[in-house]
Amino acid sequence: MDFEKLIQEFPFIQELSSTDMFGFLEHTREVKLSAGDVFLEQGSRKGSIYFIKSGLVRSFYTDDKGEEITNRLRCENEVLSSYEIDLFNEPSRFTFQALEPTELISIDSAVMRKLLDDNPRLEQVRRYFMKKTISECLSAIDDFILLSPEKRYLKFITEYPQLINRVPMKYIANMLGITPVSLSRIRKRIASKKH
């Protein structure tokens, strides 16, 4: 794992003492997943915080008609977890699934919470992730308010070029808040504009 990149992604690491770091690392474990594996189920109260060493993960919601609606995609060097379990002590509203062979480093959410609660110096870690979450959410809301579906798609492909060829378009359509059929038409429109 590229340590430089890690620090760049998670600047708070530099501020942690090696004691803190080891105290944290001894509770982590590695998980190897195959494409399609589900590792956290909608409704579960027990979950972990996952760092993606390699691979690709989606989280999705299953609606009353049994339709799966993808709401997040995360790939290597990113962190994800259930907001419900981590922040609100509620059952996860989403299922987490690997879309590729995936290696995760996980730490149980309850254990992590205890670590953070017991060691105030780790507070910055919690704050870092909460701030990051807020930042991402605010940006997503802005996009829904200010941009058309087409603009949102264009923004998506420039912002996450590494994802477009790795996941089904219908997952992206879900995240943009439109139907897969509509996304297909948008893509056609864009392609024809570039003649």
Partner DNA sequence: AGCATTAATTATCTTTTGTTAATCTTTTAA
Partner DNA sequence: TTAAAAGATTAACAAAAGATAATTAATGCT
Please identify, using beta-carbon distances, which residue of 61 and 105 lies nearer to its own copies.
61
Positions in 117-146 near its own copies (CB under 8 A): 120, 123, 126-127, 130-131, 133-135, 137-138, 140-142, 144-146
Neighbours of 70 (CB within 10 A): 20
Tell me the β-bridge partners of 107: 49
Total residues contacting its own copies by CB under 8 A comes to 26
Q: How far is the CB of 182 from DNA (least distance, A)?
A: 3
CA angle 64–99–113, rounded 5-degree value: 80
**Is-contact 61 91, C-beta < 8 A?**
no
CA distance 190 to 127: 40
The reply to whether 180 sits near DNA by the rule CB under 7 A is yes
Please identify, using beta-carbon distances, which residue of 2 and 66 lies nearer to its own copies.
66
Which residue of 23, 44, 53, 69 would you call a contact of its own copies, by CB under 8 A?
69
H-type helices in the chain, by residue range? 3-9, 18-25, 83, 109-118, 123-146, 149-159, 161-164, 169-176, 180-193
Q: How far is the CB of 25 from DNA (least distance, A)?
A: 33
Residues 17-46, one symbol each (x = binds DNA by CB under 7 A, - = not), give: ------------------xx----------
Q: How far is the CB of 152 from its own copies (least distance, A)?
A: 10
Please identify, using beta-carbon distances, which residue of 155 and 170 lies nearer to DNA.
170
- Written as six digits, the tokens of 103 are 């290696």
